A = this chain, B = another copy of it.
Amino acid sequence: MNTALLRELAAVLPSEALITDADVLEAHRRDQAEWAPSGQPLVLVRATCTDDVRAVLRVASARKVPVVPRGAGSGLSGGANATDGCIVLSLMRMNRVLEVDPRGLLAVVQPGVLNAEVKAAAAEKGLWYAPDPASWEFSSLGGNLATNAGGLCCVKYGVTGDAVLGLEVVLADGSVVRTGGRTVKNVAGYDLTRLFVGSEGTLGVITEATLKLRPKPPRATTLVATFPTLSGAGLAVTDIMARTRPSLLELMDRATCRAVEAYKPLGLDVEAAAFLLARSDAGGDQGVAEIEAMARCCEAAGATFVTHSEDEAEGELLLTARRLAFPALERQGATLLDDVGVPLSRIPELLAAVEGIAARREVLVGTFGHAGDGNMHPTVVFDRKDPAALARARAAFDDILEAALALGGTITGEHGVGVLKQPFLGRQLGEEAMRVHRRLKGAMDPLGILNPGKVC
């Protein structure tokens, strides 16, 4: 069977596209979700064009072999983790920006292009590709699309899906479908674009995307504030969101600030309960007015320290603490990174619940994230060598998912379900919605070959 499969793939693909080297396969077994299960792939295919992808899916369909599509491998939920005997289908050699149309305000790209490369190509024409996951310098657009990746600026400018006009997708049987188009608005038929975006390679393989570009916004003003209580910080967040349009609104808790200070001393107040970062890119005196309104929200909510800077370099410096949050926590041990979301009004309750879980499970949890979207990353830190610590960490990770669900929230705001959160999906969605998922999956991939075991 294996030999026959390889022979069939070899017959329809360039020889250099087909890799069975054990070390290379090992390096393509998983993404960054270290603790999620992964299987042993049979072969890696490095597709260089849509026809390669079609060829792989035709063979896979004929032989009912699972196909696990893969971008840069920077995913955080195991969405690209291999299943035993699968074909890992890498899209990283389909890495061209095919077109930047400055008058149409769009770019056409292949899935293996990095987010940073799209931004750069847009910037060359004086334009901006907005979505900015933390991984923007090393994550692929295909992966961004597959997970509907978020980021820091999406509080004002939306997530990856909001920047997609159209897609080319290869379906399970190797046929090719184009969704959407080059127009900003389009209600001709079902929103297939949005169905594929965020579907983690379980409904089709994205081979091209038409992305929306924008003019670059005015230079941002940056505000930082510290709070003696989590509830005060939460109150400030909802007030800021109800009164202004921040282009960034991030929160870090005490544990995270301490980890950052231990990693790179920046003079953060390690006694404060929470550290808030906000930006306005409204520009001119409106930007100043907006930052001042944000400052008033912080002061009214009990902030002990509030400052802001209109200087771009200084603003970047203020953002350093936030950028270091995850690396700093990673230096303290192994990590299990949650990605929960709650309704805006319930952020303080989430933060309090996480503190309780950390105490009860006797683990360190540093929480940071996109407060303006209610999307937080409580990060469980533990000693990799201690099996008991791993067990406690896993329990804490699950408790945090439960806490988010209890607050009417979501188990994943931007990282995706993958295999890591798959066991919790039904708890969030309910039996009826899961049944709809299975119906859609069955309609699009009747043989179940596309990234099996992910999402639903």
Contacts and interface: CB of A to CB of B under 8 A. Distances in A.
A303 to B, nearest CB: 18
A243 B243 CA distance: 26
A103 interface: yes
Interface in A153-182: 154-155, 158-159, 161-162, 171, 175-179, 181-182
A7 interface: no
B178 A241 contact: no
Contacts of A378: none
A448 interface: no
A232 interface: no
A420 interface: no
Interface in A183-201: 183-192, 194-195, 197-199
A308 interface: no
B177 A412 contact: no
A183 B374 contact: yes
Given A215-B245, A242-B102, A190 B182 contact: no
Contacts of A103: 238, 242, 344-345
A15 to B, nearest CB: 30
A131 interface: no
Contact of A191 (B186, B198, B344): B198
A343 B242 contact: no
Nearest to A411: B188
Interface centre among A190, A345, A414, A439 (most CB of B within 10 A): A190
B175 A414 contact: no
A185 B413 contact: yes
B413 A183 contact: yes
A341 to B, nearest CB: 4
A185 B455 contact: no
A289 B203 CA distance: 46
A414 B187 contact: yes
Contact of A184 (B186, B375, B411, B432): B375
A98 interface: no
Contacts of A417: 187-189
A14 interface: no
A175 B436 CA distance: 11
Contact of A195 (B194, B284, B421): B194
User: Nearest 8 A-B pairs (CB), nearest first?
Assistant: A284-B286, A103-B345, A194-B194, A443-B443, A283-B286, A183-B341, A185-B413, A182-B343
Interface of A: 101-106, 126-127, 147-148, 150, 154-155, 158-159, 161-162, 171, 175-179, 181-192, 194-195, 197-199, 203, 214-215, 217-218, 238, 241-245, 282-287, 289, 341-346, 370, 373-375, 408-417, 421, 425, 428-430, 432-433, 435-437, 439-440, 442-444, 455-456
10 contacts: A105-B242, A126-B242, A127-B242, A150-B185, A184-B341, A184-B374, A189-B417, A189-B437, A215-B245, A282-B283
